[in-house]
Amino acid sequence: ELNQELINHQQKWFHLQAGSSVNHCQKFRIVALSCIASLLLSVSPAVNALHIRGTWDSSRFYLFLAKFGIQKTVLESMAATRGYVYGNVTLAGQRQASSGRQRAPVTLVVVDSEYFQDLYTNSSRQPHNDESCRRMFNKIDRLAWHPQCRQQGKEDFLRSVPCPTGRLCPEEDEPSRVIPGWQLTYAIQDTKQPRYWYLSLVACSLNPDNCQWEATHTGSSSLTLAYDLWLVNGAPSQRHVNKLEHQFSFDEHDILEIYGVFLMLYAALAGAVHAKLLRRQEPFTWGCGGAVAGAFLCCVHLAKFAGDGVGASGLWAAGELLRRWADAVFILLLILAARLGLQGRPDPLGTGILLASFL
């Protein structure tokens, strides 16, 4: 009877252990699936392309084009530290007006965050009419310059578009300030601090006869515009001063160098893993390989972006996915090590590499 009781206790213990193992496996699977889900959902988009091209139908009334951080202007090197927005905005396909007279334009707007909020908030209010335009530009009108209606304005926020084919936009009264080969140029400077600027197209026009804002081309008479615009830090002629920051928003300056440093660190870590832990820590090796590959793809995208302002968004997304997958592998290994404990003789070098990867 005593033996039978011991056997029964052993069987119960084994059942409990088996159930506990199943629970641990289920918990581990839940954690793994959660990490994978968060990994897929949190892959950040590529650095926004700041050489922007496309078309816009004015019947949509409003189009937000881009947000860009302009660096602080240094007086000793104005041309190299100003922000510039330049490019072309023309009728798509060079389509001309159906009537003999010049059609009323729409407006390209470049403003900082202080003035953008009113512009953007009022753009969604229906109906889109003259009153909508006046609400949108009410605050901007306090400072914006216009050649006929706001000659005392201090800020060059507005351009009437489309610009005449092969010529400068009407507001470009000093051709020497326009980047050669383009129709319009904004030169932005702030000697106090860096600042975000917002670029938009609005189907509104300032009537030069009564200096009132009017909705234009929002119905059957809509225009289709083709735009090709650049947003950069530093004059294009001065891009050699800092090639790695010219195309980037100020909050992304040095991002290429940072990813390059991490690529070298990941490569060094992968080399140490290959020499020491290859046969005993396969998941850890996979994590190191994913980190190296991800950092490399991100560096390729950023290097291309530094040259053309567009980059390769597919490479960036793949690189971020690999990097975050590697992070998830490291975290799961850490959870597993904490749960099961370290087995065998301690290995100072292996432990150091493991801790370095988590850091």
Kindly tell me if the per-residue pLDDT of 41 is higher than 50: no
Q: Which amino acid is at 276?
A: K
- Cα torsion 203, 208, 213, 216 to 10°: value is -30
Q: What is the pLDDT averaged over residues 139-154?
A: 86
Instruction: Name the token pair of 170.
Output: 């009407």
Phi, psi of 42 (to 5 degrees): -100, 5
pLDDT, one tens digit per residue, over 221-240 is: 788 999 999 999 888 877 76
Cα radius of gyration rounded to whole Å, the chain: 30
Q: How far apart are CA 58 and CA 331, in angstroms?
A: 50
Q: What is the pLDDT averaged over residues 142-154?
A: 85
pLDDT, one tens digit per residue, over 254-294 is: 888 888 898 888 888 777 776 665 555 567 777 778 888 88
How much is the pTM?
0.72
Report the residue count for the chain.
359
Confidence (pLDDT) at 81: 85
Confidence (pLDDT) at 54: 92
Confidence (pLDDT) at 311: 81
The more confidently predicted of residues 274 and 161 is 161
Kindly tell me if the per-residue pLDDT of 18 is higher than 70: no
Kindly tell me if the per-residue pLDDT of 137 is higher than 90: yes
Kindly tell me if the per-residue pLDDT of 96 is higher than 50: no
The whole-chain average pLDDT of the chain stands at: 77
Quick count: other Cβ atoms within 10 Å of Cβ 138?
13
Residue 56 pLDDT grade (very low, low, confident, very high; cuts 50, 70, 90): very high
